[in-house]
Chains A and B, each alone.
Chain A
Amino acid sequence: KEKRRGRGRYGGQKCGRGHKGERQRGNRPRLGFEGGQTPFYLAIPKYGFNDGHSRRRQYQPLSLQRLQYLIDLGRVDPTQPIDLTQLTNARGVTVQPLKRDYGVQLVEEGADIFSAKVNIEVQRASELAIATIEKNGGVVTTSFYDPRSLEILCKPVLFFLRGQPIPKRMLPPEDLVRYYTDARNRGYLADPSKVAEARLELAKKYGYVLPDITKDELFKMLSTRKDPRQIFFGLAPGWIVNMADKKVLKPTDERLLKYYSS
């Protein structure tokens, strides 16, 4: 049986507003009001769950599925070391350094379908993500970028147009030093021999045979790593890149050289 409808644009007669009262007259109280009783959102006491939330470090997640998607489409080149600059140029991730983003973190989503041999450098990585990449013969490194270096890393061309020398990357703050010197997180400040041991341990734990990357033809590329004070591969701190004349200017004064290599 068809529903009896009033005529008119909004349904007609009462127009779905009900009969008299605040409902029909459009004067209902604000959201959360409970007629005078202390509302739920005021009755519950505060606790510091969200204290300093706007000052916390954030890391943009990068799933292995997304990484595989980018490699398959050809937006990211697996034959070169993958860096935040490469990911940003490929528009794979969007990092906002001004919104307390400190970089990118590797996430396990897509661990079962990942099959690419890459040398990747992120800021954080979970254990399963590290295991997946190493199982496929790749290399993971976690490194720290302070906000200024991060902005330069994400938008290199804009920085070069400023005409300033490349600054040196700062070392991590106290609470992160422990994270980046730990071989289990593949920190960039960790002992390489301990990193080798940690790779074996992970292989035993996750039950795969660790492929020997020394026998790989891309071994040289896979083992390239940045120096802790370096921001770009191939460019040292202190150099100025001139985009207009396509030249790179390097300092010669020994005080400057001493400062930039400290």
Chain B
Amino acid sequence: MAAHTLGGLCRPRLGFLAARFSQRAAAGTEYRSAYSLDKLYPPRQDGDAAASAPEETQPAALDIPLARLTVSYCRSSGPGGQHVNKVNTKAEVRFHLASADWIPEDVRQKMASMHRNKINRAGELIVNSEESRYQMRNLAICLEKIRTMVTEATEQPKVVSKETTQKLIERVEKMNRERLRQKKIHSNIKQSRKADFD
């Protein structure tokens, strides 16, 4: 049964969850086969450097502080019979955009200008979703929408360097020159086949 020790991996973030498997059962009371979790994933004794390196490479999804958001549920619109009439499935998430510290300042301003229509007079950005039958999924969709908004506002316009633009222009010119050269050669061939009267 599960008693996988993760004593070596005491990262502060995951410490409280790694302790889930930190009990070591008394040997002999529990059955252990060759494929038990301790044998498949032996607890590593090496330093955290090897463990933390593969983590940083993946882009982490934006951390949205749930305590700063106001979440409310209400009934969705549209067809659906008794279920849509009675069950609160539409999720609405609001937060005050100007005081959201978890978004960088310039991104906040960009968002304020991009999503002007979604901000009310009190300055709260409102995102709602009623696409799914489940409240939890609608909440997840709202959070995903917020993340997309932040990503869109963060992206910078692509700056093409001078060298690259020049290279591109040179390439186009070279293509045209080559095309015209081939055209002249072909024209000469056709001319040479012509029989003149002289």
Contact = CB atoms under 8 A, between A and B. Distances in A.
A229 B136 contact: no
Given A192-B6, A214-B16, A262-B33, A111 B140 contact: no
Binding site of A, secondary structure by majority: helix, strand, loop or mixed?
loop
A214 B19 CA distance: 7
Nearest to B140: A206
Contacts of B18: 193, 196
A189 B1 contact: no
B89 to A, nearest CB: 7
Contact of A204 (B16, B21, B64): B64
Interface in B173-189: none
Chain B interface bracket (under 10, 10 to 19, 20 to 34, 35 or more): 35 or more
Given A193-B9, A199-B17, A207 B71 contact: yes
B139 A207 contact: yes
A128 B134 contact: yes
B63 interface: yes
Contact of B21 (A199, A223, A262): A223
B63 A204 contact: yes
Nearest to A219: B20
Contacts of B13: 200
A227 B32 contact: yes
B143 interface: yes
Interface stretch (B35-43, B96-104, B105-113, B151-159): B35-43
A116 interface: no
A27 to B, nearest CB: 43
Interface in A35-89: none
Contacts of A208: 66, 136
Interface in A157-206: 168, 171, 189, 191-193, 196-197, 199-201, 204-206
Contacts of B139: 206-207
A209 B71 CA distance: 14
A142 interface: no
Interface of A: 108, 111-112, 128, 131-132, 135, 168, 171, 189, 191-193, 196-197, 199-201, 204-209, 212-214, 219-220, 223-230, 233, 236-237, 260-262
13 contacts: A111-B135, A192-B4, A200-B14, A204-B61, A205-B61, A206-B139, A207-B142, A209-B66, A223-B23, A227-B30, A228-B35, A230-B33, A261-B34
Given A230-B31, A237-B33, 6 more contacts: A193-B41, A200-B17, A207-B64, A223-B23, A225-B2, A229-B34
